[in-house]
Amino acid sequence: MSGRVGDLSPKQAETLAKFRENVQDVLPALPNPDDYFLLRWLRGEGRDGRGWDQGASRGAWSQLIQSVSWLSGSIHTILLLIFRSRGGKGVGERGLTPAPSILHSSHWPGARQRRVSCLTPSFCFPTARNFDLQKSEAMLRKYMEFRKTMDIDHILDWQPPEVIQKYMPGGLCGYDRDGCPVWYDIIGPLDPKGLLFSVTKQDLLKTKMRDCERILHECDLQTERLGKKIETIVMIFDCEGLGLKHFWKPLVEVYQEFFGLLEENYPETLKFMLIVKATKLFPVGYNLMKPFLSEDTRRKIIVLGNNWKEGLLKLISPEELPAQFGGTLTDPDGNPKCLTKINYGGEIPKSMYVRDQVKTQYEHSVQINRGSSHQVEYEILFPGCVLRWQFSSDGADIGFGVFLKTKMGERQRAGEMTEVLPSQRYNAHMVPEDGSLTCSEAGVYVLRFDNTYSFVHAKKVSFTVEVLLPDEGMQKYDKELTPV
């Protein structure tokens, strides 16, 4: 049995009744603690082992399946469906072979790197609840604490700061063919530094939680309008313009925390997450977020390839889909982007900044003598990895550049290596410097801190460097991804 209302086994029905009895002390504080709500907490992830939720619409889903191929390969619990431009002919359903997590390079065949900062999440998932009373009750009671901390009861009355209202991309627009609300996230125009220099991380997280409550409220309204229960949503991530600026560590950490909160406090509300216009950096971005997504959520992620507009129309009627995304819906003035419903963000004016840096904790520090330099080597075994760095210096500026070694096993001078990022002096003593680089080829990359120009002062440099790995499964479909 699916574990949904109207499809419960006698044992599941008994567990539901017991669960309601166990948590009756907190139910009055919840807006609508019906059986649909309680069953969301009881159902475990991956209960049927398939790539979609059995309770989701079979009609729209079956139409989608007929148009695409199930792509096999070592994809770590993500359902990757790609609409191909060469006719889009379906070949039926095939199994997916799970692969180990590749957060650390050692999971890649023959992988070997000097130092890779392991992106271990601070958020840990509970095991699948699967009608486990104890686990479900613990999760629900933790959710009640979350509601108090975030003041969820009044969050819809809260107004985000002006910067967020004007420049935070995203919006609620239309419904899928089953009547589920559709939320759009527009990644490209997002200004990471502008946001975090203008508002607090807590403001951003609270805004995201407010969006979640707006969506749930819309689900309730749809339930009244349609006369049937609507409890899930469709999310569309427009990845056009996804670039290195979006891998700025402070922003990535905000999104990681957001996805963690989403998984903990809004279980089983996602119907599908549709990725459109994915760039070649998308596998890296996905791998950064993957540890914070439950197995169930990963299975609901669908990457639409070249014919993504056709894919959206399988799930969303033209009149409910913005013309910008292949439908016929426009603003009253004919704007195809539906700007009255979807915010497309943009660069935030520096006049709105309230700070010029974000506090950073560094992993390493080194004293570089006058007239000297310090080199840090990272071996990259395959193209597509991203080197990401942050550094600051004490007292004076410091030179920095990235090079590719031409000889292995020995230290090389800057002039003997291939220059990848030209060396220049940075005022990292005034404002911490950060950056990133997509490695276009394999080899040993050298990050070089240069103090050779200083004949008087030694410099202390603090830095953090990370190698961001692309998702192995995504890399296999490189031809379907848009160049950055």
Q: How confident is the model at residue 104 (pLDDT cuts 50, 70, 90)?
A: very low
Asked if 303 contacts 330 with a C-beta cutoff of 8 angstroms, the reply is: no
How many Å separate Cα 329 from the centre of its chain?
A: 27
Asked if 199 contacts 163 with a C-beta cutoff of 8 angstroms, the reply is: yes
Reply yes or no on whether the pLDDT at 427 is more than 80: yes
Reply yes or no on whether the pLDDT at 72 is more than 80: no
Reply yes or no on whether the pLDDT at 435 is more than 50: yes
- Where along the chain do its domains lie? 55-119+132-352+472-480
Dist CA 295 CA 300 (whole Å): 9
Amino acid at 103: L
How many Å separate Cα 91 from the centre of its chain?
A: 30
Reply yes or no on whether the pLDDT at 200 is more than 70: yes
The fold adopted by the segment(s) 55-119+132-352+472-480 is Phosphatidylinositol Transfer Protein Sec14p (3.40.525)
Give per-residue pLDDT as tens, 141-158.
999 999 999 999 999 999
Q: What percent of the chain has pLDDT over 90?
A: 71
Give per-residue pLDDT as tens, 17-59.
999 999 999 999 999 999 999 999 998 553 333 333 333 333 4
* Phi, psi for 312 (deg, rounded to 5): -65, -40
Reply yes or no on whether the pLDDT at 365 is more than 60: yes
Dist CA 174 CA 180 (whole Å): 8
Reply yes or no on whether the pLDDT at 75 is more than 50: no
Give the position of tokens 């999760």.
Answer: 139
Asked if 427 contacts 241 with a C-beta cutoff of 8 angstroms, the reply is: no
**DSSP-based three-state secondary structure for 44:** coil
Dist CA 457 CA 453 (whole Å): 10
Please choose, from the candidates 214, 113, 78, the residue with its C-alpha nearest in 3D space to the C-alpha of residue 444. Answer: 113
> Where would I find the beta strands (DSSP E) of 205-265?
233-238
Q: How confident is the model at residue 343 (pLDDT cuts 50, 70, 90)?
A: very high
Dist CA 403 CA 412 (whole Å): 10
Please choose, from the candidates 271, 262, 272, the residue with its C-alpha nearest in 3D space to the C-alpha of residue 294. Answer: 262
Pairing of strands 181-186, 171-175: antiparallel
Q: Which residues contact 10 (CB under 8 A, 6 or more apart)?
A: none
Instruction: Write out the two tokens for 314.
Output: 């399988």
* pLDDT average, residue stretch 427-453: 93
* pLDDT average, residue stretch 411-431: 93
Asked if 323 contacts 287 with a C-beta cutoff of 8 angstroms, the reply is: no
Please choose, from the candidates 23, 251, 294, the residue with its C-alpha nearest in 3D space to the C-alpha of residue 15. Answer: 23
Q: Other C-beta atoms within 10 Å of 461: how many?
A: 21
Please tell me the least confidently modeled range out of 67-71, 267-271, 302-306: 67-71
Please choose, from the candidates 392, 390, 346, 391, the residue with its C-alpha nearest in 3D space to the C-alpha of residue 195. Answer: 346
Dist CA 175 CA 300 (whole Å): 18
Asked if 187 contacts 238 with a C-beta cutoff of 8 angstroms, the reply is: yes
Reply yes or no on whether the pLDDT at 373 is more than 80: yes
* pLDDT average, residue stretch 272-296: 92
pLDDT for position 470? 87
Please tell me the least confidently modeled range out of 102-106, 117-121, 400-404, 426-430: 102-106
Dist CA 468 CA 287 (whole Å): 8
Instruction: Write out the two tokens for 388.
Output: 């990401």
Asked if 460 contacts 393 with a C-beta cutoff of 8 angstroms, the reply is: yes
Please tell me the least confidently modeled range out of 32-46, 172-186, 193-207: 32-46
pTM of full prediction above 0.75? no
- The conformation of residue 54, written as its DSSP 8-state character, comes to T
pLDDT for position 88? 32
- Please give the mean pLDDT across all residues of the chain: 82
Please tell me the least confidently modeled range out of 39-48, 194-203, 262-271, 381-390: 39-48
Reply yes or no on whether the pLDDT at 208 is more than 80: yes
Dist CA 47 CA 299 (whole Å): 12
Give the position of tokens 């309008």.
Answer: 225
What is the gyration radius of the CA atoms in the chain, in angstroms?
24
pLDDT for position 79? 32
pLDDT for position 483? 58
Q: Which range is most confident: 63-67, 97-101, 456-460?
A: 456-460
Dist CA 276 CA 259 (whole Å): 19
Asked if 210 contacts 155 with a C-beta cutoff of 8 angstroms, the reply is: yes
pLDDT for position 86? 28
Buried b (16+ CB within 10 A) or exposed e, 275-307: bbbbbbbbbbbbbbbbbbbbbbbbbbbbbbbbb
Dist CA 439 CA 420 (whole Å): 9
Partnered with residue 390 across adjacent β-strands are 434, 464
pLDDT for position 116? 34
Interaxial angle between packed helices 249-265 and 282-289, expressed in degrees from 0 to 180 and rounded to the nearest 10:
50
